[in-house]
Structure 1
């Protein structure tokens, strides 16, 4: 069986024929492997070998490998046009098979800028440009996202020739059309085509899920060059801000008719929703970096309060102890509340830093630094607190570090349990379920 995969990877058609002569049923006894032989020869671009496999075992063309891709996905990503033609002759619908994340072979070709593959696929597989990923992205979205201008031009020309302008207005899961993405990426060439070739059918004032039009995105994310030209193009095509779109819709509507969407009436709430964390849009690495920055800022601020309590410390021993907190001497209750909340902020920030850096390089050294910072804080707080609050402070700074992860886990479990209950209740209340 290994010989079969070796011949497929090398494209050894003579070796394959000899193998079939020795084992006529070898293609019907494929063991459990990450891929079938057609995956290997399509990825490598072996046309004759692909023809032979398709003739004997056409069902291989629609099988997914362990990564969730068909042989056509691999051939398209590598720009093997002739292999694409052979596979389409077997079954034209094979172009629309969805792989991992819902991506089709056209998405792969658009992502890699394989223009010949895109042209052949659009000519042979009707409707493939309307296929979307699990994020509801068309091949146009993918091409803009990965800055593949050549892919875009091929698809946009096909849209113009076939009058399929409605594809231009399709939105991803965040409500962004191709125009939104082109403005956000500052792709002037794409904008010129969109505005110039589809002036009547392009929805220039489409509003995404954050309540923003393409013009809003341009004004919110300015750059140093090209913005003025892009803004002029948008204005010439009738582009407006979301709040202006809402005003026009409300003015034209009858008194009894509700406005387009309640969130559009408040631009500030739109901005809050836009900058809020969205799972699937924001990468884990970016989120981890932001959390680290916030945790470090909190640790720095609370550490300073711990070693330099408000009001300062006594500088002499007349009626008090030098180095102890002045506010703690005068009002032990206020001091206890202050040091409690400050210690909570400090210990939680240290816990977050330790968690987010748990698999970083030099982890032992980093943990030594965090431990040293924790001990320094404890010693400073214990030293500066008045004698009547010292026992409480020692207990507080000893118990909190242990309680922080426990409380955090309990809160997360409670949140997960609550979300599950909400989903179950929603399901049970759905008409037709019971």
Structure 2
């Protein structure tokens, strides 16, 4: 008899169902403890047999909340197939099924959204709007799921019903990505246009990696994006007229994104070129200073091959004479012989600037994907090191070349070094504070996000 029941469910044969119940009134009760995980209601709901579903619901309404092997209710299956009438009947019988998650962590409303069943989605939102606010284990809302499955029509329905709730539109997953972030990263221009022109989505919000939606859009394949924008811009009037109802409701905003995209690329290009020029100049300066340090090199007298001079250690104007002499030969640096401490400090900072400049040049010409905001920021930090090293090299050189009697000159050098140190300290502290603020915001959002998940 169990086989006859499932055959009736497959065919949607209500008379066969009634015949079985006439033969055994407890037959539907026994089907709940049978060997099959799928109930007759699951099968009928999946196949769209609305009359059969209505009859079973009237005889055994608790079947509406039963789960199959995939932890799906009959409502999950009907929503996935887009059977609006069956969905309404199931909701009238078991409204709580709309909040049940299946094996994949999706409730019936989310299933309808990712399948693009707009009519069913509208029904589910009207009956149980709270189901749209449920997030999965990754912290994703139904909006994230719509974007991941490229279901713009479902997204429009949800935004139309929750458009006034900024928190719903800007909700972020565990990686701090909003639906707008995902759409931009995937190059879904229509979705990006819709979210930026018809909602108050925060396009300045950053994810855990520090990227805005605009940054992610710029990082996608340039050719594909520009072609998509161009196609959208050159759409024929006939096409616009044929979709005038949709266009009037959701006008295109692709032009703004094209302008921002070009501006982003222009900034990256300028920074790339500037870093290359500055790194080349500083490398040349450091190379020249290394071969020809301040004071020059020792010149031999005719017939001599070496000269002995008193050996002193001098650091920023403070001489500490030693008890021995140092022998200088032709080509040895005068600075290294007369003030080794100054020369050693000069050599350290000059070498740091030289190596850092060469590193920037190699990275920029290596062919690696350096034309990204994150990489440009890293190279900019290295350039700070280069410039600071060059400034200290200059200060050491001037200190060596200036006689100790010229006290005012040393004051100028000291004040210059202090001013530069203060500026660098201010920049470093500012960036550290900025990173701390970002980290705190991320922690607060994560805690708030977690609390909301548990409260839902």
TM-score where L is the length of structure 1 = 0.53
Is the Cα contact below 8 Å between 1:215 and 1:234 reproduced in 2? no
- CA 1:220/1:256 → structure 2, altered by over 3 Å: closer, same or farther? closer
The alpha-carbon deviation at position 66 of structure 1 amounts to 0.8
List aligned pairs for 1:29-428, cutoff 5 A: 29-30=30-31, 31-160=34-163, 163-198=164-199, 201-227=200-226, 232-233=256-257, 259-261=436-438
Alignment correspondent of 2:419: none
- Cα distance in 2 for partners of 1:8, 1:219 equals 53
Summarize the Cα distance change of 1:186–1:231 in structure 2 as closer, same or farther, 3 Å threshold.
farther
Gaps of 5+ in 1: 245-249, 265-434
**Aligned 8 A contact 1:215 1:231 in 2:** no
Q: What is the count of residue pairs matched by the alignment?
A: 255
Contact 1:8–1:40, Cα closer than 8 Å, also in 2: yes
What is the deviation of 1:175?
Answer: 2.2
- For residues 34 and 223 of structure 1, the distance between their equivalents in structure 2, rounded to whole angstroms, comes to 50
1:152 counterpart SS class: helix
Contact 1:218 1:231 (8 Å CA) reproduced: no
| Cα deviation 1:4-59 (Å, max 9, x = unaligned) | 11111111001101111111001111213121111100000011111111122222
> How many angstroms apart in 2 are the aligned matches of 1:84 and 1:212?
41
Larger radius of gyration: 2
Q: 1:101 touches 1:134 (CA, 8 Å); kept in 2?
A: no
Q: What is the CA-CA distance between 1:149 and the residue it aligns to?
A: 2.1
Paired residue secondary structure (1:260): helix
Aligned-partner Cα distance in 1 for 2:126–2:260: 33
Bigger relative contact order, structure 1 or 2 (CA pairs below 8 A, ≥6 apart): 2
| 1:242 positional shift | 8.5
User: Could you tell me whether the CA contact under 8 Å between 1:183 and 1:217 is conserved in 2?
Assistant: yes
Q: 1:209, CA displacement in angstroms?
A: 2.8
1:91 Cα offset (Å):
2.7
Secondary structure of 2:215's counterpart equals helix
Distance 2:217 2:85 in 1: 42
Distance 1:32 1:260, change over 3 A: farther
Q: 1:196-216 deviations in whole A, cap 9, x for unaligned?
A: 122xx4221222233322122
Secondary structure, counterpart of 2:222 in structure 1? coil
1:8 equivalenced with 2:9 (yes/no): yes
Aligned residue for 1:5, secondary structure, equals helix
Render the CA deviation track for 1:394-422: whole Å, top value 9, x for unaligned: xxxxxxxxxxxxxxxxxxxxxxxxxxxxx
- Distance in structure 2 (CA, Å) of the matches to 1:121 and 1:197: 23
Mapped partners of 1:41, 1:106: distance in 2: 19
How many angstroms apart in 2 are the aligned matches of 1:173 and 1:96? 22
Q: Name the TM-score, length of structure 2 as normaliser.
A: 0.50
Structure 1 position 258, deviation (Å): 7.0
Following TM superposition, by how much is the alpha carbon of 1:132 offset from its aligned partner in structure 2, in angstroms? 1.9
Output the CA distance in 1 between the equivalents of 2:91 and 2:109: 13
Partner of 1:144, secondary structure, is helix
Structure with a larger share of its residues in strand? 2
Residue 89 (structure 1) shift? 0.9
Question: Runs of 5+ in structure 2 lacking a partner?
Answer: 230-253, 265-371, 377-426, 442-456
Structure 2 CA distance, aligned partners of 1:135 and 1:87?
A: 29
Q: CA deviation at 1:103?
A: 0.5
Residues 369-405 of structure 1: CA deviation (Å, up to 9, x unaligned): xxxxxxxxxxxxxxxxxxxxxxxxxxxxxxxxxxxxx
Q: 1:76 to 1:38 in 2, by over 3 A?
A: same
Q: CA deviation at 1:94?
A: 1.7
Between 1:14-23 and 1:203-212, the stretch displaced more is 203-212
Give secondary structure in 2 for the equivalent of 1:224: helix
* 2-structure distance, mates of 1:67, 1:92: 20
Residue matched to 2:310: none
Q: For the residues of structure 1 that align with 2:4 and 2:64, how far apart are their CA atoms?
A: 20
Label 1:263 to 1:89 Cα distance change in 2 as closer, same or farther (>3 A): closer
In the other structure, the counterpart of 2:311 is none
